[in-house]
Amino acid sequence: MKDVRTSEFVIEFARMATNMYRLGWDERNGGNISYLLYEDELKEYLDINNVVREMPLGFNAKELAGKYFLVTGTGKYFKNVERDPAFNLGILRIKDDGVTAELLWGFEDGGKFTSEFPAHLMSHIERLKVSKNHRVVLHTHPLAIMAMSFVHPLSDREFTRTIWKMNNECIVVFPDGIGVLPWMVCGTNEIGEATANKMKDYRIVLWPNHGIYGVGDTLDEAFGLVETVEKSAQVYMMIGEREIINPITDQNLKDLAAHFKLNYRKDFLD
């Protein structure tokens, strides 16, 4: 059987974690990623009948029973993932009871999944209802997004409008907009449930004063969503109190949407 550390999914996952750390998005043990894997791609690397140990999930994920996830560990640093994936990552299967995760590989120090894993699973449940190809949930702490959440009104419409108007690319990349939560305690089922509820309509959810959730059918797509929002937040923060004399207008955004045939949030534009 092949070494799972040589698999494309582990290599790509680890490279993305390294890149996120390099960009300054994931300080210390901040941030987490979960990646839905398919049984067929696992079989050449793992004996899927060999359960190393079991872990309680802390909520009922019955809708994901039998599904496999590659996930970052609690207390783990993104900067170390590429060097030692078996220590910092784990491959889990959701048991039929829905409340237990079966560890098939990884967490070799006896560790467990990130504390945000229940929140991830809640978002996976909702996004799979929207897209059967959905696979990735990531949570990260980009600097400009965090800074912007301190000084900008916190509503889906207003935050989306501002970000859309910082870069022509934005409405094209996420025509569905950005969901915004109020401040909430992180690492709880409550914030997970609130995030998942927003995921019914959005692929990006802002946690004010903390960070952002992004989802996608691929690692690149989820990363690219957050990357695009972060760059636009950087532009917003760089402008500061200066008067904008050459704005991207609502009509400009409508013209972009018409050109690219986008199904965008029309109620977010005047």
pLDDT given at position 154: 97
pLDDT given at position 17: 97
* pLDDT, mean of residues 71-98: 96
Contact 107, 73 (CB under 8 A): yes
Architecture of domain 1-115: 3-Layer(aba) Sandwich (3.40)
Residue 106 to residue 100: CA distance in whole angstroms = 17
3-state secondary structure 54-122: EEECCCCCHHHCCCEEEEEECCCCHHHCCCCHHHHEEEEEECCCCCEEEEEEECCCCCCECCCHHHHHH
* pLDDT, mean of residues 136-145: 97
* pLDDT, mean of residues 113-137: 96
| Token reading at 133 | 């190809």
Specify the 3-state DSSP secondary structure of 139.
Answer: strand
| Token reading at 232 | 């636009």
Who contacts 26 (Cβ-Cβ below 8 Å, separation ≥6)? Answer: 17, 20, 78, 140, 141
Specify the 3-state DSSP secondary structure of 12.
Answer: helix
pLDDT given at position 224: 97
Closest CA to 125 of 14, 233, 24, 36: 36
Who contacts 166 (Cβ-Cβ below 8 Å, separation ≥6)? Answer: 232, 233, 235, 236, 248
Q: For residue 216, what are the β-bridge partners?
A: 136
Task: Please tell me which residue in 116, 126, 227, 230 is annotated as part of the active site.
Answer: 116
Q: How confident is the model at residue 187 (pLDDT cuts 50, 70, 90)?
A: confident
Residue 169 to residue 191: CA distance in whole angstroms = 29
Q: Would you list the domain boundaries of the chain?
A: 1-115, 136-270
**Does this chain's domain 1-115 share its CATH topology with 136-270?**
yes
* pLDDT, mean of residues 11-23: 96
pLDDT of 45 over the 90 cut: yes
Helix axes 117-130, 189-198, angle to 10 degrees: 20
* pLDDT, mean of residues 182-202: 95
Residue 101 to residue 135: CA distance in whole angstroms = 18
Please confirm, yes or no, whether 116 is among the known catalytic residues.
yes
* pLDDT, mean of residues 10-17: 97
pLDDT given at position 117: 94
The per-residue pLDDT for range 218-245, each reduced to its tens digit, is: 999 999 999 999 999 999 999 999 999 9
CB atoms within 10 A of CB 88: 25
pLDDT of 248 over the 90 cut: yes
Q: Could you tell me which CATH number the domain at 136-270 has?
A: 3.40.225.10
Q: Which percentage of the chain shows pLDDT scores above 70?
A: 100
Unique residue bearing structure tokens 């990531």? 138
State pTM to two decimals: 0.95
The chain-wide mean pLDDT, for the chain, equals: 96
The per-residue pLDDT for range 152-171, each reduced to its tens digit, is: 999 999 999 999 999 999 99
Closest CA to 215 of 159, 181, 174: 174
